[in-house]
Structure 1
Amino acid sequence: MGKLLTVFTPTYNRAYCLERCYQSLLRQSNRNFIWMIIDDGSTDDTKQLVEKWIEEDLIEIKYVWQKNQGMHGAHNTAYKLIKTELNVCIDSDDYMSDDAVEKITDFWMRNGSNNVSGLIGLDADLNDNIIGTKMPENLKKSTLFNLYNKYGVTGDKKLIYRTELTRSFPYPLFDNEKYVGLAYKYYLLDTKFEMLLMNEVICYVEYLPDGSSKNMYKQYVNNPKGFAFYRKELMKLPFVGKKFKFKQAIHYVSSSFIQKNRAFIVESPERYLTVLAIPFGLILYLYITSLVLHK
């Protein structure tokens, strides 16, 4: 039987914490998976570390090095190369529960089909506390968008997708920028199918000081084209209301000011809402840029 799941890990100069992720994969009760490491241009000893693990030959590891493109560029590469039916991203500073692969495999074998995008599991912190809230126990399927915006679920969740679908909607790469919101792809996949819900902890999460989530304001200022693209795409979603679109328009205006794009109104998919959002977007622009400049 071929392997069902690829665990992929984008990494950039994270040799100091990657060992914990590796050890969690060695502890898996089900070894029917591939670990794919996408090294996004690391200059530390990540390559040497991974080569040592490959020589140990305890689990199947595929290592890919590329010039630095940012998290979304690493995801693009992974989705092009993954051959298994399912894939899940485990960040380099996170690790899997000891029975995560077994839970995913068993759940998918019982419930999976071509009529869903994949399944959603839980993240927990290092003290075994669920990140945010659990998913409704009586709810079997949902889109990711509805999970947060209709059912009131909070906190990061672990997304396991069908690989053939994740090849859709590749993330764009912008010159001199390294960030596009990953949810761009996830929300577009919501237009195709719902996802199965599995209230089981799959991943343990630690938000390190050099992680993207801890540096979001700086990311916002340094990647305005990527952020503007992301907000425009969210405004186009067919299942969102005016309130959601207006929030995206505010961020779109702010990012447009940062990149000095004078054509932002013409380029907006929601021109009227964008015009209304200008004063709020200006305030957001001033607030975020002042925070970054004074750090």
Structure 2
Amino acid sequence: MPQITIFTPTYNRAYCLHKCYESMKRQKNKDFIWLIIDDGSTDNTQLLVEQWKQNDNGFEIKYIYKENGGMHTGYNTAYKHINTELAMNVDSDDYLTDTAIDDILYFWNKNKRSDVGGIYALDIFDNGEVIGEPFPDDLKEFKGWGYKYIYYNTDGKKKVHKNRGDKKFIGVTDIIKQYPDIPVFEGEKYYSLYYKQHRIEADYSILIYNKPVCVVEYMEDGSSNNMFSQYVKNPKGFCDERKFVIDNSPSLYLCLNSSIHYVAESKIANNKNYLSEVKRKLPVILSIPAGNLLYWYIRKKVK
């Protein structure tokens, strides 16, 4: 059994998926499985993958076709079919660095413990520039909260790191499977992919591997470049995520920021009972004026 599964949810990305495949072939360490979750593609993705499976790749390619439901449903499907020790997502428009598998497995086998739920590593652009910024050198691991702000201890001092830019999460499969599926709301096709990570960070230590393992490209048709329209199309999912941050964040800033979004997205979802659905009501009450302004701004952006 290989030690890690790289899973790739994809939807009509046959035109760029080859970059991901070529990066898999370049790995010297082939101790991995590539699992492709086809989220209802109508292009030639399946034919392309079947052709690749016939090649002498040195690693196993698995392909699963499912009804279109959004990337988060692709994650849910992937986790049900992953049996390797580790699991890592690589998007269909991204690809591995040339030594990614070697680097990840060497780091994990050297540092793994039963109380560790995963690893954070770096993403880079194709010019080698780190997305956002690297982790500070003294941040080796943390536990409790890692969304946008990471709280950690070093040399007896409490510190906080503002995490800028996307990072790559490599999860311990058995621990990932302890938590519920990412929620699915009828008629919506987007939910934050941070759902399980929130919960893993609260219960387990997360190791920091301060080196790049994935090259990221933000495509015009990607969710990151269409966030305002996602707010309008998927308000229930966004509200559900905001509620978790409001009720659990150790940071007042994050709590208020999520409260503002929660008010705006609740208005989009036409949910008049939003205040009764959170435990920490005061931040939401204080955020109502700003949330109303954000609601109208979002509406203006997606006309």
- Which TM-score band (shorter chain)? over 0.9
Shift of 1:140: 1.4
Q: Distance in 1 between matches of 2:238 and 2:135?
A: 28
* Whole-angstrom distance in 1 between the partners of 2:48 and 2:220: 22
Partner Cα separation in structure 2 for residue 114 and residue 269 of structure 1: 32
Q: Distance in 2 between matches of 1:146 and 1:44?
A: 37
Q: Structure 1-normalised TM-score?
A: 0.95
The correspondence of residues 21-40 of structure 1 with structure 2, limited to 5 A, is: 21-40=20-39
Alpha-carbon separation, structure 1, partners of 2:288 and 2:267: 10
The equivalent of 2:251 in structure 1 is: 241
User: Which of 145, 157, 168 in structure 2 is aligned with 1:158?
Assistant: 168
Judge conservation of contact 1:144–1:186 (CA < 8 Å) in 2.
no
Stretch moving more, 138-147 or 128-137 = 138-147
SS in 2 for 1:191: helix
Q: Is the 8 A contact 1:184 1:234 kept in 2?
A: no
CA contact (8 A) 2:117 2:172 kept: yes
Separation of aligned partners in 1, 2:280 and 2:260:
11
Q: Distance in 1 between matches of 2:238 and 2:148?
A: 21
Match of 1:181 in 2: 192
Shift in CA distance, 83/144, structure 1 to aligned 2, threshold 3 Å? same
**One-letter amino acid of the counterpart of residue 182, structure 1:** L
**Mapped partners of 1:206, 1:7: distance in 2:** 17
Q: Distance in 2 between matches of 1:87 and 1:291?
A: 36
Matched to 2:246, the amino acid is M
SS in 1 for 2:287: helix
| Contact preservation (8 Å) 1:5, 1:85 | yes
Would the alpha carbon gap of residues 160 and 144 (structure 1) be closer, same or farther in structure 2, given more than 3 Å must change? farther
Deviation at 1:147, TM superposition (A): 7.5
Paired letter, 2:220: P
Q: Which of the two has greater helix per residue?
A: 1
The answer to whether the 8 A contact 2:38-2:63 is kept is yes
Matches within 5 A, 1:47-196: 47-58=46-57, 59-143=59-143, 145-146=145-146, 148-149=148-149, 150-167=160-177, 168-196=179-207
Runs of 4+ aligned residues of structure 1 deviating over 4 Å after TM superposition are: none
Q: Deviations over 1:177-214 (max 9, x none)?
A: 00111112211111111211111110001001000101
Work out whether 1:14 is the aligned partner of 2:29.
no
**Is the alpha carbon distance of 1:256 and 1:289 closer, same or farther for their aligned partners in structure 2, counting shifts above 3 Å?**
same
Partners of 1:21 and 1:93 within 8 A in 2: yes
2:152 alignment partner in structure 1: none
8 Å Cα contact 2:143-2:203 kept in structure 1: no
Asked if 1:276 corresponds to 2:275, the answer is no
CA distance in 2, matches of 1:185, 1:62: 23
SS of corresponding position for 1:199: strand
Shift of 1:153: 3.2
Shift in CA distance, 146/132, structure 1 to aligned 2, threshold 3 Å: same
Label 1:14 to 1:254 Cα distance change in 2 as closer, same or farther (>3 A): same
Query: Is the aligned partner of 1:226 residue 2:237?
Result: yes
Matched residue, 1:267 = 277
Question: For residue 45 of structure 1, what is the aligned residue in structure 2?
Answer: 44
Q: Which amino acid aligns with 1:104?
A: I
The alpha carbon displacement at 1:226 in A equals 0.5
Supply the distance in 2 between the matched residues of 1:197 and 1:125 (Cα, whole angstroms).
Answer: 19
Contiguous gaps of at least 5 residues in structure 1:
none
Distance 2:101 2:108 in 1: 11
Task: Look up the SS of the partner of 1:92 in the other structure.
Answer: coil
Which one-letter code corresponds to 2:5 in the other structure? T
Structure 1 residue 169, shift from structure 2 partner: 3.0
Aligned-pair CA distance for 1:151: 1.3
SS, match of residue 77 in structure 1: helix
8 Å contact 1:8–1:89 — kept in the other structure? yes
Under a length normalisation based on structure 2, what TM-score does the superposition of the two structures give?
0.93
In 2, the alpha carbon distance for the partners of 1:276 and 1:153 equals 26
Distance, in Å, in 2 between the alignment partners of 1:144 and 1:151 is 13
Q: Distance in 1 between matches of 2:34 and 2:252?
A: 41
Paired amino acid for 2:172: R
Q: Which amino acid aligns with 1:204?
A: V
State the number of aligned residues.
291
In 1, Cα distance between equivalents of 2:200 and 2:6: 20
